Amino acid sequence: MLIDPEVVGRARTGDSQAFNQIVQACRKPILGTIRRLIGNPDDVEDVAQEVFVRVYYSLDQLRSDEGFEPWLYRLTVNAAYDYLRRKRRRHESRMSDLGEDQVTLAEAAEGTKKSADAVRKTKARELVESLLSNVSDQDRMLLLLKEVEGLSLKELERVYQVKENALKVRLFRARQRVLKAFEGRGSSVEEKSVEKKKEGDQ
């Protein structure tokens, strides 16, 4: 997602064509980021459009044309966070979406339509979603930006506008929680298999 600062500059002056250029260049990666941040494929386009509406109306607040990408990420994270907050207020838990995934997983496992690779990916998706359910929405987003989107600490610093050390501390804590859940999950699977083995022996 490389945007020419000159295009950003023109968009800032109200050039619709330049704004369209930005949308064309950024919409796909933004859709992907939002999909991973909110975990619900149905509302991805809505949230992405909200991001671009915010971009359109706040371009004049952008300090420099070069800082466009971190700023866009910041708007994306904020829009995704707002969405999750609204969703929580509506008492829609993410579990219902996971349920959908589980159905897909079951279909994939039962039927032979999907390949083993698809099943592995679905499992990875479900596992990450369940691991991330152990951290707050903010930490979930931070971890996803770092571990999945591949943003560096410097880039995250510009997105969140906080000091690198503060980010490190936050990431450390979030990683610890996720790791704990991951290890706990492993032990619970082991316990279950031991129990099953015992039942089988009896």
Partner 1 sequence: MNEFPRELQEVFRSYREAMPDPEPSVNFTPVLWEKIEARRSSFTIMRRLTHGLVSLATAAALVLGVFVIPQVQNRRALSTSYAEVVAEEGNSAQEIATAFAAPLTPVTGVPAQ
What residues make contact with partner 1 under the rule CB under 8 A? 20, 23-24, 27-29, 31-32, 35-36, 41, 44-45, 48-50, 52-53, 56-57, 120-122, 124-125, 127-128, 131, 147-148, 168, 172, 175-176, 178-179, 182
Please work out, in degrees rounded to the nearest 5, the angle formed at the alpha carbon of residue 139 by the alpha carbons of 133 and 145: 105
Q: Which is nearer to partner 1, 74 or 148 (CB)?
A: 148
- Range 45-54, long-range pairs (CB < 8 A, 24+ positions): 46/83, 47/79, 47/80, 47/83, 50/79, 50/82, 50/83, 51/75, 51/76, 51/79, 52/23, 52/27, 54/78, 54/79
Q: Which is nearer to partner 1, 8 or 131 (CB)?
A: 131
* Four-point Cα dihedral 18, 160, 51, 150, nearest 10: 80
The CB-of-86 to partner 1 minimum distance in angstroms stands at 16
The CB-of-197 to partner 1 minimum distance in angstroms stands at 24
The CB-of-59 to partner 1 minimum distance in angstroms stands at 12
The CB-of-109 to partner 1 minimum distance in angstroms stands at 15
Q: Which is nearer to partner 1, 113 or 198 (CB)?
A: 113
In whole angstroms, what is the distance from residue 53 CA to residue 27 CA?
12
Q: Which is nearer to partner 1, 128 or 156 (CB)?
A: 128
